[in-house]
Amino acid sequence: MTYKVLRWTAARVVMVAVAASATVNSTFPHDITSRCLLQKVTLNTREPIRCALHCQNTPGCSLYCLQDLVCTLYNAMVTQAWNGKTLLTGIPFQRCFASSHDPRDIALSIANSSSSSTFNSDRNSQQMYNGYTCFFVDYCFMTINTVEPYWKGDLGVPYQVSTIKILTRQDANTKHFFQDVTVRLGNSSDYFSNPIFAFYAGPAPLKALVTLVSPSPAFGRYLLIQSGVSDFFCMCSIQIFK
């Protein structure tokens, strides 16, 4: 939490608690408006804190954007590394902030990633840490329908990890898309030989935020997430905590 003094009038000084929020790339695809818009408010100041307060007081708000005096609130999970790169005709704002970012999340350390396959280039393995999740599955990671598909991430150096949170698919029946999932973390670049971090039987329900906790904190550099079934494998974002 950060505390800021907000002056509404010279006579009235109010102390408010604003959840930590991070600046993110401010270009988003058009579907963010049709699918994830919560509210548009016209402010009488350009101070982002006023928009932050509206977001904080609006259930489901996880992204707020400013364009002149207009504050727009969205229910959309934006990764820390989101760069809007795959957008052809996106909506640009002057500034956007994600209120869902946790400064303890080390997913930004992921140096590179790969996967057993990718459904298409919009749904590549990087979307797990540089994509965003509104509703539609684009900007999520997804494989083709195959046997025990997997995702691999390299944290660059070994980290102690206790908890991993994965946001699953939001827009369709996820019956086998996240099921019998094994997570491994260790120091061997042969990802499949590292110790098991956690197992999730599932299947994950639609729009799940799956939390995987290791019985004892694990320490490692190479992270493997593998489905135990034959199907598409889909994950929209990952958060990694010490």
Which residues form the interface with ligand NAG (CB under 6 A)? 112-114, 152-154, 158, 186-187, 189, 195, 219-220
Choose between 24 and 128: whose C-beta lies nearer to ligand NAG.
Answer: 128
Rounded to a whole number of angstroms, the minimum distance from the CB of residue 134 to ligand NAG is 26
Rounded to a whole number of angstroms, the minimum distance from the CB of residue 177 to ligand NAG is 21
Q: Look-up: residue for tokens 């550099």?
A: 221
Can you tell me the distance from the alpha carbon of 112 to that of 150, in angstroms, rounded to the nearest whole number? 15
Hey, what amino acid is at 131?
Answer: G
Single out the residue of 166, 238, 236 nearest to residue 202, CA to CA: 166
Choose between 113 and 239: whose C-beta lies nearer to ligand NAG.
Answer: 113
Choose between 73 and 218: whose C-beta lies nearer to ligand NAG.
Answer: 218
Rounded to a whole number of angstroms, the minimum distance from the CB of residue 6 to ligand NAG is 44
- By the 10 Å C-beta count (0-12 exposed, 13-18 middle, 19+ buried), 233 is classed as buried
- Contact predicate 234/207, CB 8 Å: no
Rounded to a whole number of angstroms, the minimum distance from the CB of residue 167 to ligand NAG is 20
- Contact predicate 54/19, CB 8 Å: no
Choose between 2 and 189: whose C-beta lies nearer to ligand NAG.
Answer: 189
